[in-house]
Amino acid sequence: MSPRKTLKDIRKPNKTLLLIIFMTIFLTEFLFFTWCRVQTIGAGYEISKETKHHQDLITLKNNLKVELARLKSPERIAKIAKNQLGLITPTREQMIIIP
């Protein structure tokens, strides 16, 4: 039979248990904090990656705009019309009057 607990023993909480609870809370908090930091850093990398991707797409869009502007140049269009398609500016006689 276990020795009978005194009243003082019942009122006094178990120190080891308290320490374990405290350490568990502390460790959980510590791990949670670490996890948060890791997540933040990971998210930072993701943001940087996506930002770079976004910038690359903007650059691509700008390059395409430049290309389009170059392709629409009147000199280029006139050259293609004249040399490749064989078009000429109509003379007054070639104009057809539709009443």
Partner 1 sequence: MKPAEKKHIRLRIIIVGSIFSLFFTAIGAKAVYLQVFRGSWLSQKAADQYEFSCRSYGKRGTIYDTNLKELAISIDVTSIAAHPPKIKNTRAIAKQLSKILKINRKSLVRKLASNKKFVWIKRKVTPKEAGAIRKLKIAGVDFIPEHKRFYPNKTLAAQVLGFTNIDDHGLEGIEFYYNKYLQGSASNYTILKDALGRGFDADKVTGSNYSGNNLILTIDSVIEYITEKALEEAVKKFSAKSGMAIVMAPKTGAILALAHYPFFNPNAKNNFTQKIWRNRVITDAFEPGSTMKIFAAASAIETGNCSPNSIFYCENGAYKVGNHVIHDTHEHGWLSLQQIIKYSSNIGAVKFSAITGSKSLYKTLRDFGFGAKTGMDCPGETAGILAPYNQWTKVDTGAISFGQGISVSALQLISATSAIANKGVLMKPYIVQAITDQNGQLIKSFSPKKMKRVISEKTAGALATIMKSVITEGGTGVNAALEGHSVCGKTGTAQKIGEQGKYAQGKYISSFIGFLPEKMPKTVILVVIDEPEKQHYGSIVAAPVFKKIARKTFDYMNIRPKNKTDKLIVSLKGKARG
For residue 17, give Cα distances in angstroms to 9, 20, 29. 14, 5, 18
In the DSSP assignment, the letter for residue 86 is: -
- For partner 1, the closer of residues 16 and 91 by Cβ is 91
Measured in Å, how far apart are the chain's first and last C-alpha atoms? Answer: 124
Is residue 34 near partner 1 by the rule CB under 8 A? Answer: no
The position carrying tokens 């460790």 is 27
Kindly indicate which of the ranges 2-10, 13-21, 28-36, 72-80 contains the residues binding partner 1, using the contact rule CB under 8 A.
72-80
Give me the residues that bind partner 1 (CB under 8 A), please: 41, 44-45, 47-48, 51, 55, 58-59, 62-63, 65-66, 69-70, 72-75, 78, 81, 85-90, 92, 94-99
